[in-house]
Amino acid sequence: MRFERYEYVTRLNRVKEAMHRRGIELLVIANPANMCYLTGYDGWSFYVPQVVLVELNEDHPVWIGRGMDANAARVTTTLKDDCIIPYPDEYVQSLVQHPMEFVADCIHTRNWDRKFIGVEMDAYYFTAQANESLRHGLPNARFIDARNLVNWVRLIKSPREIEYMQQASRILERVMNVAIEAVQPGVRQCDAAAEIYHAQIRGTEEFGGDYTAICPMLPTGVGTSTPHLTWTDEAFKPNETTIIELAAARHRYHAPMARTVHLGDPPQNLADTAEIVVEGIHDVLKFVEPGVTCEQVEAVWRKTIEKHGIVKNSRCGYAIGLNYPPDWGEHTISIRPGDKTILQPNTAFHFMPGIWMNDWGVEISEPVLVTDDGCEPFADVTRKLIVKDI
Amino acid sequence: MRFERYEYVTRLNRVKEAMHRRGIELLVIANPANMCYLTGYDGWSFYVPQVVLVELNEDHPVWIGRGMDANAARVTTTLKDDCIIPYPDEYVQSLVQHPMEFVADCIHTRNWDRKFIGVEMDAYYFTAQANESLRHGLPNARFIDARNLVNWVRLIKSPREIEYMQQASRILERVMNVAIEAVQPGVRQCDAAAEIYHAQIRGTEEFGGDYTAICPMLPTGVGTSTPHLTWTDEAFKPNETTIIELAAARHRYHAPMARTVHLGDPPQNLADTAEIVVEGIHDVLKFVEPGVTCEQVEAVWRKTIEKHGIVKNSRCGYAIGLNYPPDWGEHTISIRPGDKTILQPNTAFHFMPGIWMNDWGVEISEPVLVTDDGCEPFADVTRKLIVKDI
């Protein structure tokens, strides 16, 4: 197991505490990161419905998933066999039966069907139909929206979690430097992406890499006006900008980062904006400490860039840690106006103040750990617009 | 654009025809592959809600997504500006407003709010909350479950789509051979995975590779008793089996395949089972032609393995093509009892008859194209248990 037994026990108890406060007696967890957090379960099987059940008075969670994945629960968790419940393959992508009907039957069998049941209403893999099938199968239950309940428990990282994020950060430093090196005129974008992937997964001699919850993003040219484009077969062109946003992952814990590379003399607005972004990051890193709120962090950033006449209308950060595709963000804190969450020690976030204009953009970002008396960036990569002579 | 204009027009008309037959006047599409199929939209932005709307009497679909992704729609589609509708960033992962409320407002604005509206009830990124927010915002609409409506239109591939899958297959052949080569005693699993990723993304000199909808899976040792485990830092061990299941992708079109490698003299049951699986594949490839049903294909497979006393309780194939994480399967046809779909020319499927026992398993699979008078495997990689001397 990737964590000591007591750490899983603590996690489970924290989740039960949060359930208790909200009047939830049974929690149905469909988010793969939450499933992994509570049981260790790890496999790319989340493309079919699967859940972990947490009942307030039971010592152990229950895993329910596809028959062929039950052995993955045996290999990656310490759950006993009576807590691993496989459903028959006929449920998979069927029009006449849904796996959530099977889950409802299991809840019946355990006499949990009249309880207050929490469901993750906005979790990626808890579809509209999953919700309807579950509710239809449990007519006597009272349902409560428990979205992000486990995510909020995940917000403060344990020493071992931080260690994995630091290991991911050692990989990240290598990966980002490989990526910066690979962006050269004449090099196909796909060849640069191949080098990036190789470095991500190989990791270091000590720490192997894991797949990341978002693929490397590599917008170039006019594509830098938007953050989520990937690569093509085209070669990088002289006098064009490329944004590199990627992460490294260790045991599913992420350290993400963005850098911007320009091939040739950069346009003045790009160079100026990059400098302002770096100044904003600097001011934020000086400001963050336990006790400040997310919106106060955003205000510091905004004040710095407003001095230079720049406006940014999107959030500039979010919590990070354990995750599965499609997102390395944890869906709890956002660094933006209105988020009154108070930062606490051992909170990790991606400070990601991307600027996207009509036909260009710049991204320079840092993964950050809130410490006991301030904060520190997880990784050390040259923090500036990377300009290459051509 | 990756396809000619007429191909997008044809796709749109086929979807409208299917809508018309089911009494759907407006279709809300949340599945990223379906969004890409109809508009060309391509970016890793599906971690926030985004949709394509198809109205029965409109010439063009409408894209609605996060503000920062609107430029990705401009870069990857030919939609006009009035068909690209960005929502403000405050909707993202907010507890007080959901992007689907914005989508409902857009539908109102266009006076489509009293229509029969189809929604993809079991699409990965159409969450329980997305469904509730949309319905709540459109009290006068009549909702219809349109799950997989576009997926079924995608079932029969066009010549250009087949071309992309053939290009993906050229990459696949290289990737699988790289993977087989990389599995050696003493090699860290993560280093093998790094080589696999490098080959996937680099592609060939002619065709760059794309990220695949499922990561490479690499269960080893007792892990081969289940299909969806990934790699660790551990080295491959002598006298252990490793299953390699992976794909290559070209412009998001997939060619998946599985092979099994044993380091040393294989146990008799593994060697025997692998031979039976290969015989089953052989019999299926001889049998498949336009006009036969999916369940008849499964029956041929079952008859072959039953002769040898092997039972398999999970489906042994599914449609493949254009896809995004978390699944390269298209959620239409399944090769299993009860699936009465008649195979037609230019249907592509992954024949994937994995066998998983208590503590071992074997996977040998083929991506297959149904042709005018039979079928052919997309790729050519040694089809047998790979045994390496140690």
- Cβ of A231 and B215 within 8 Å? no
- Cβ of B231 and A208 within 8 Å? yes
Q: What pLDDT is recorded for position A279? A: 98
Domain boundary among B106, B128, B153: B153
Largest CA distance in chain A: 70
Whether the CB-CB separation of A49 and A100 falls below 8 Å is answered with yes
Put residue A115 in one of left, alpha, beta given phi > 0 → left and psi -120 to 50 → alpha. Answer: beta
- pLDDT of B166 strictly over 90: yes
Query: Which of A90, A122, A135, A332 would you mutate first to test chain B, the one with the most B CBs within 10 A?
Result: A122
Query: Rounded to a whole number, what is the distance in angstroms from the first to the last CA of chain A?
Result: 49
Q: Determine the residue of chain A that is closest to B225 in CA distance.
A: A71
**Separation in Å, CA of A131 to nearest CA in chain B:** 6
- Convert the pLDDT of each residue in A37-79 to its tens digit: 999 999 999 999 999 999 999 999 999 999 999 999 999 999 9
Is the same domain home to B233 and B289? yes
Distance CA B341, CA B335 (A): 9
Q: How many CB pairs under 8 A join A and B?
A: 232
Is the same domain home to A206 and A299? yes
Whether the CB-CB separation of B69 and B126 falls below 8 Å is answered with no
**B229: containing domain:** 159-388
Q: What pLDDT is recorded for position A304? A: 97
Distance CA A257, CA A364 (A): 7
Q: Determine the residue of chain B that is closest to A246 in CA distance.
A: B44
Is the same domain home to B220 and B287? yes
Range list of H helices, chain A: 5-21, 32-39, 70-76, 99-109, 128-137, 149-154, 159-182, 189-202, 268-287, 294-307
Is the same domain home to A141 and A200? no
How many CA atoms lie within 13 Å of B36's alpha carbon, on the beta-carbon side?
19
- pLDDT of A256 strictly over 90: yes
Of B123, B231, B314, the CB nearest to A89: B314
Short-list A309, B195, A311, CA closest to A298: A311
How many CA atoms lie within 13 Å of B299's alpha carbon, on the beta-carbon side?
9
Confidence of residue B124 (pLDDT cuts 50, 70, 90): very high
Tell me the CATH number at A113.
3.40.350.10
Q: What are phi and psi of B299, to 5 degrees?
A: -65, -35
Q: What pLDDT is recorded for position B313? A: 87
Tally of domains within chain B: 2
Whether the CB-CB separation of A225 and A358 falls below 8 Å is answered with yes
Domain boundary among A131, A154, A177: A154
- Cβ of B208 and A47 within 8 Å? no
Q: Determine the residue of chain A that is closest to B45 in CA distance.
A: A228
Q: Which residue has the tokens 């929690």?
A: A27
- Cβ of A71 and B208 within 8 Å? no
Of B68, B124, B356, the CB nearest to A125: B124
Q: What pLDDT is recorded for position B174? A: 98
**Separation in Å, CA of A138 to nearest CA in chain B:** 16
Stretch A239-250: mean pLDDT: 98
Short-list B146, B8, B87, B318, CA closest to A128: B146
Is the same domain home to A237 and A321? yes
Q: Determine the residue of chain A that is closest to B235 in CA distance.
A: A208
The fraction of chain A above a pLDDT of 70, given in percent, is: 100
Tell me the CATH number at B275.
3.90.230.10
Which letter, b or e, does each residue of B350-373 get, where b requires 16 or more Cβ atoms within 10 Å of its Cβ?
bbbbbbbeeebbbbbbbbbbbeee
Q: What pLDDT is recorded for position B105? A: 98
- Cβ of B92 and A198 within 8 Å? no
A360 in B contact zone (CB under 8 Å): no
Q: What pLDDT is recorded for position B95? A: 87
Is the same domain home to B176 and B116? no
State whether ipTM is beyond 0.90: yes
Joined tokens for residue B316:
């042994």
Query: Which of B46, B71, B149 would you mutate first to test chain A, the one with the most A CBs within 10 A?
Result: B71
Q: What pLDDT is recorded for position B30? A: 98
Q: What are phi and psi of B364, to 5 degrees?
A: -135, 120
- Cβ of A214 and B354 within 8 Å? no
Q: Determine the residue of chain A that is closest to B337 in CA distance.
A: A90
Stretch B211-219: mean pLDDT: 98
B67 in A contact zone (CB under 8 Å): yes
Short-list B177, B155, B156, B159, CA closest to B167: B159
- Chain A segment 109-168 residues within 8 A of B by beta carbon are 119, 121-132, 145, 147
Q: What pLDDT is recorded for position A313? A: 87
Query: Which of A226, A236, A254, A356 would you mutate first to test chain B, the one with the most B CBs within 10 A?
Result: A226
CB-based burial of residue B13 (10 Å sphere; 0-12 exposed, 13-18 middle, 19+ buried)? exposed
Query: Which of B117, B122, B174 would you mutate first to test chain A, the one with the most A CBs within 10 A?
Result: B122
- What is the pLDDT of chain A when averaged over all its residues? 98
- pLDDT of A372 strictly over 90: yes
Joined tokens for residue B260:
């099994």
| Residues of A in Cβ contact (< 8 Å) with B131 | 128, 131
Stretch A186-196: mean pLDDT: 98
Distance CA B291, CA B294 (A): 10
Distance CA B242, CA A182 (A): 32
Joined tokens for residue A335:
């660094």
Whether the CB-CB separation of B377 and B182 falls below 8 Å is answered with no
| Residues of B in Cβ contact (< 8 Å) with A327 | 47
**Separation in Å, CA of B335 to nearest CA in chain A:** 11
Query: Which of A31, A93, A121, A217 would you mutate first to test chain B, the one with the most B CBs within 10 A?
Result: A93
Q: What pLDDT is recorded for position A367? A: 99
B220 in A contact zone (CB under 8 Å): no
Short-list B65, B61, B57, CA closest to B24: B57
Provide the angle, in degrees to the nearest 10, between the axes of the packed helices A128-137 and A99-109: 30
Joined tokens for residue A58:
């039971």
- Cβ of A47 and B233 within 8 Å? no
- pLDDT of B160 strictly over 90: yes
Distance CA B215, CA A212 (A): 10
- Convert the pLDDT of each residue in B127-149 to its tens digit: 999 999 999 999 999 999 999 99
Is the same domain home to B176 and B251? yes
- ω into A326 cis (within 30 of 0): yes
| Residues of A in Cβ contact (< 8 Å) with B190 | 201-203, 208-209
Of A45, A69, A215, the CB nearest to B211: A215
Distance CA A330, CA B209 (A): 29
Is the same domain home to B191 and B121? no
Is the same domain home to A127 and A240? no
Joined tokens for residue A327:
């997102």
- Convert the pLDDT of each residue in B66-122 to its tens digit: 999 999 999 999 999 999 999 999 999 998 999 999 999 999 999 999 999 999 999
**Separation in Å, CA of A71 to nearest CA in chain B:** 6
Distance CA A87, CA A103 (A): 9
Whether the CB-CB separation of B225 and B273 falls below 8 Å is answered with no
- What is the pLDDT of chain B when averaged over all its residues? 98
A232 in B contact zone (CB under 8 Å): yes
- pLDDT of A340 strictly over 90: yes
Of B214, B232, B313, the CB nearest to A67: B313
Whether the CB-CB separation of B344 and B365 falls below 8 Å is answered with no
Confidence of residue A81 (pLDDT cuts 50, 70, 90): very high
Is the same domain home to A131 and A200? no
Is the same domain home to B112 and B203? no
| Residues of B in Cβ contact (< 8 Å) with A338 | 90
Joined tokens for residue A351:
């400070």
Question: Strands, DSSP E only, in B41-196?
Answer: 51-55, 62-66, 84-87, 116-119, 142-145
Is the same domain home to A174 and A316? yes
- pLDDT of A202 strictly over 90: yes
Short-list B127, B126, B104, B144, CA closest to B19: B144
Domain boundary among B111, B129, B153: B153
